[in-house]
């Protein structure tokens, strides 16, 4: 799912609970799904206080993740496939190690036999000719052994290629699954990132960092919890100022910065500055599609708004979905 939108647009409902759709306040106990990034009150999903305390410290335990029920169902099968691939990879590496050991041993034996043949060929023939006969016989035996070893060497290599081919074919993900895996990894990488638009372009990186820190301080967020990452994209002379990417220490800092960004509209010098989640290409496409559809729907429903990747209106006190990105 796409998180979509930016904090400066109140129609997005970035901080609504995914279950009850109520607002998630700063002091309320809630968790953010590590896949869809949506917030859920712990009471709505019946998470014990002790478990909540452990999950809240996930910055100290990077491997600890929490998924909402929908994402758990969606990515459960994918997780099994990835584990199977990893197990096959381990098996392949073990077979490769065994083969390399066998090939090294065979190569050593071949080299020893070649040396023995060379030494025998150089032996002098005794007067009665017995040595000559013996040398010819031993060379014949050695040639046979070399042939057998060469065949073993060839079979080992061809067998390995066949095994590798079989394992590789079993390990290759479908194109669709690779896309899902790639998208999930990219969203995971960006989950605590934000993008700042409207920061004046300058070749002085320190000046840009100072400007970002001033902005963060202005909206009341701890500047020590937000790290400057750099400009997005390649610099083009005369083009619009590139966006600036920052990385928040945790999901709570990201959430607070997004909520506070609405203040920028009323601050001198920041009227055209806004903050957005760092969306993947797929999320950007979905977000654009949503915004275009919202403009179309608002010709008939002025009160329509984007909420949790859907365009909705409130009708007789009930939430009515007019459009969803899954359509």
Q: How far is CA 53 from CA 26, 42, 43, 124, 254, in A?
A: 16, 11, 13, 87, 19
Q: What is the pLDDT of residue 29?
A: 84
pLDDT at 150 over 90: no
| 239: CB partners within 8 A, 6+ apart | none
Q: Is the confidence at residue 45, as pLDDT, over 60?
A: yes
Q: Where are the domains of the chain?
A: 80-177
Q: What's the farthest any 2 CA atoms get from each other in the chain?
A: 119
**How far is 193 from 258, CA to CA, in rounded Å?**
11
> Is 60 exceeded by the pLDDT of residue 35?
yes
312, 305 Cβ separation under 8 angstroms:
yes
The pLDDT confidence band at residue 125, using thresholds 50, 70 and 90, is very low
Integer Cα distance of 33 and 39 in angstroms: 7
Q: Does the pTM of the predicted model rise above 0.75?
A: no
| Residue spans of alpha helices (H) in the chain | 49-56, 69-121, 130-171, 175-190, 205-218, 251-260, 281-297
Beta bridge partner(s), residue 197 = 274
Contacts for 69 with CB less than 8 Å, ≥ 6 apart: 45
pLDDT band at residue 58, thresholds of 50, 70 and 90?
low
Q: Residue 142 is inside which H or E element, if any?
A: helix 130-171
Take residue 198 and report the two structure tokens written for it: 């409207």
pLDDT of 159 above 70: no
Report whether 71 contacts 56 (CB < 8 A). Answer: no
pLDDT tier, 127 (very low <50, low <70, confident <90, very high otherwise): very low
Q: How far is 206 from 271, CA to CA, in rounded Å?
A: 22
User: Residue 259 belongs to what H/E stretch?
Assistant: helix 251-260
Q: Return d(Cα 23, Cα 13) in angstroms, integer.
A: 8
Backbone angles phi, psi at 305, to 5 degrees: -150, 160
Nearest to 31 by CA among 84, 2, 85, 72: 72
Confidence of residue 209 (pLDDT cuts 50, 70, 90): very high
Q: What are phi and psi of 86, to 5 degrees?
A: -65, -40
CA 105 – CA 101 distance, rounded (Å): 6
Are 158 and 103 within 8 A, CB to CB?
Answer: no
Kindly list the distances between the CA atom of residue 10 and the CA atoms of 16, 137, 288, 307, in Å, as whole numbers in the listed order: 11, 94, 16, 9
């Amino acid at each position: 799912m796409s998180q979509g939108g930016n904090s400066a647009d109140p129609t997005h409902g970035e901080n609504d609970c995914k279950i009850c759709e109520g607002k998630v306040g700063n002091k309320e106990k809630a968790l953010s799904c590590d896949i869809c990034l949506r917030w859920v009150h712990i009471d709505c999903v019946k998470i014990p206080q002790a478990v909540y305390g452990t999950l809240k410290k996930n910055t100290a335990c990077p491997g600890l993740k929490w998924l909402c029920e929908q994402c758990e169902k969606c990515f459960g099968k994918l997780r099994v496939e990835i584990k199977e691939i990893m197990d096959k990879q381990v098996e392949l590496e073990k077979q490769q190690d065994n083969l390399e050991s066998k090939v090294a041993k065979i190569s050593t034996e071949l080299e020893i036999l070649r040396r023995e043949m060379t030494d025998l060929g150089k032996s002098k023939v005794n007067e009665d000719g017995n040595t000559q006969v013996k040398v010819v016989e031993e060379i014949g035996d050695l040639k046979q052994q070399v042939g057998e070893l060469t065949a073993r060497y060839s079979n080992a290599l061809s067998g390995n290629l066949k095994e590798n081919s079989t394992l590789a074919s079993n390990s290759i993900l479908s194109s669709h699954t690779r896309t899902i895996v790639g998208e999930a990894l990219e969203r995971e990488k960006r989950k605590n990132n934000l993008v700042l638009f409207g920061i004046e372009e300058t070749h002085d990186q320190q000046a840009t960092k100072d400007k970002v820190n001033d902005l963060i301080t202005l909206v009341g967020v701890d500047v020590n919890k937000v790290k400057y990452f750099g400009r997005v994209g390649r610099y083009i002379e005369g083009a619009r100022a590139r966006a600036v990417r920052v990385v928040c220490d945790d999901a709570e800092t990201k959430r607070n910065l997004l909520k506070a960004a609405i203040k920028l509209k009323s601050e001198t010098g920041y009227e055209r500055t806004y903050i957005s989640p760092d969306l993947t290409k797929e999320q950007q496409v979905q977000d654009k599609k949503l915004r275009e559809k919202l403009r179309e729907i608002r010709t008939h429903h002025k009160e329509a708004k984007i909420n949790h990747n859907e365009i909705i209106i409130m009708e007789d006190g009930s939430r009515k979905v007019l459009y969803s990105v899954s359509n």
